[in-house]
Amino acid sequence: MKSDIHLVCFDVDHTLLTDQQELTDKTKQTIFDLQARGIKVIVATGKNLAAVQPLVDELGMDDPLIFVNGCLVQYRDGRVMLHEELRPDLTRRVLELGDRQRMDMMLYFVNDTVVKAGGIFNSALDKYGGPAPRVVEKWQDLGKELDHVLKIVFIHSDDHRYLEEMNEVLRKEIPQGIDLCFSLPILLEIHPAGVSKGAALKKVALTLDIPMKSIIAFGDGENDLEMIQYAGIGVALGNATPTLKAAAAYVIPSNNEEGPADFLIEYLNLH
């Protein structure tokens, strides 16, 4: 029953926000209306908390939130509920293979991100907001910090084939211990095996004592797949990948058309 919905989970980029990184008035009001009904609203994003702090503060999201594709479940005040890291030997192997392929990479830690000097990462993700990454001359400069990497992201904004090649190299050279996904056409993400937004959503739901049938989840990218499959009602936006649309219970208008807000208003009779 529609009245049984107790949790709504949004991906952030290209789902909750428009392509211009805007939270529309209708979407914001819809979230407030959900919260007024006692329905919990959370985000599940590939970003870390620092990158979305203003958003989650504005929306008053006080329940556990999902960051770094499920490597972190964290409250907006910084408290950590779940923390998953890449094995240090696998981190170093991924970096070695990435450098060999001359790929640009970004490393995610709990509180910040790190890139190597001279790469396009320094500006390629500017439109997605958040603090600027820390820059090092070489990965070894990070020392023991390399033991605490959550995920590694490869970027190539010119030709997706370079990322496809990198994907094949990683799958061949590191057959166990990591999972890979394309969160955007220009991004290939590597995180610990078994980690996903879906696995993290399950942990959040168990913590909040909410059954999966009482969850609606919205997404657009490959990194939203497990989340869409876990939720009782998985919703893909019109701008989503074909894979995500095929897995979803509903396909709705895009993020730029306020698809999620209109769906929730109608589905839950929020008028």
In angstroms, rounded to a whole number, what is the distance separating the alpha carbons of residues 193 and 195? Answer: 6
Spatial separation of the C-alpha atoms in residues 17 and 12, rounded to whole Å? 6
- Domain co-membership, 199 together with 247: yes
| pLDDT tens column, 129-138 | 667 889 999 9
Domain that holds residue 179: 88-192
The C-alpha atoms of residue 73 and residue 61 are separated, in whole angstroms, by 13
Condensed to tens digits (0 to 9), the pLDDT of residues 3-54 reads 699 999 999 999 999 999 999 999 999 999 999 999 999 999 999 999 999 9
Domain end call among 173, 192, 211: 192
Question: What average pLDDT is seen over the chain?
Answer: 93
Cα 254 to Cα 17, 25, 225: the distances in Å are: 10, 16, 17
Q: Pairing mode, if any, of strands 233-237 and 250-252?
A: parallel
Domain of 241, CATH number, reads 3.40.50.1000
Q: Is the domain of 58 the same as that of 98?
A: no
pLDDT band at 59 (very low <50, low <70, confident <90, very high): very high
* Banded model confidence at residue 76, pLDDT cuts 50, 70, 90: very high
d(CA 258, CA 211): 27
pLDDT for residue 207: 96
CA atoms of 180 and 193, how far apart (whole Å): 9
What pLDDT is stored for residue 131 in this prediction?
76
CA–CA distance, 180 with 141 (Å, rounded to integer): 26
Last residue of a domain, one of 160, 192, 224: 192
Indicate whether 29 and 72 sit together in one domain.
yes
- 173, 208: one domain: no
Do 46 and 68 form a contact (C-beta atoms < 8 A)? yes
Model pLDDT, residue 186: 84
Write out pLDDT tens, residues 101-125: 999 999 999 989 999 988 765 555 5
37 shares a domain with 110 = no
CATH of residue 152: 3.30.1240.10
The residue from 158, 192, 226 where one domain ends is 192
In whole angstroms, give the CA distance from residue 178 to residue 36.
40
Judgement on whether residues 103 and 180 belong to the same structural domain of the protein: yes
pLDDT in tens, 183-196: 777 889 999 999 99
In this structure, the answer to whether residues 29 and 156 fall within a common structural domain is no
Kindly state whether residues 74 and 101 are assigned to the same domain. no
CA 168, CA 165: separation in Å to the nearest integer?
A: 5
pLDDT interval class at 265 (50, 70, 90): very high
Helix (H, G, I), strand (E, B) or coil at 234: strand
97 phi and psi angles, rounded to 5 deg: -70, -40
Same-domain check for residues 103 and 76? no
Measured between alpha carbons, how far is 124 from 133 in angstroms, rounded to an integer?
Answer: 11
Contacts of 165 (CB under 8 A, 6+ apart): 101
- For residues 21 and 46, membership in a common domain is answered with yes
Distance CA 271, CA 88 (A): 51
Q: How many separate domains does the chain show? A: 2
Q: What is the pLDDT of residues 83-96, one digit of tens each?
A: 999 999 999 999 99
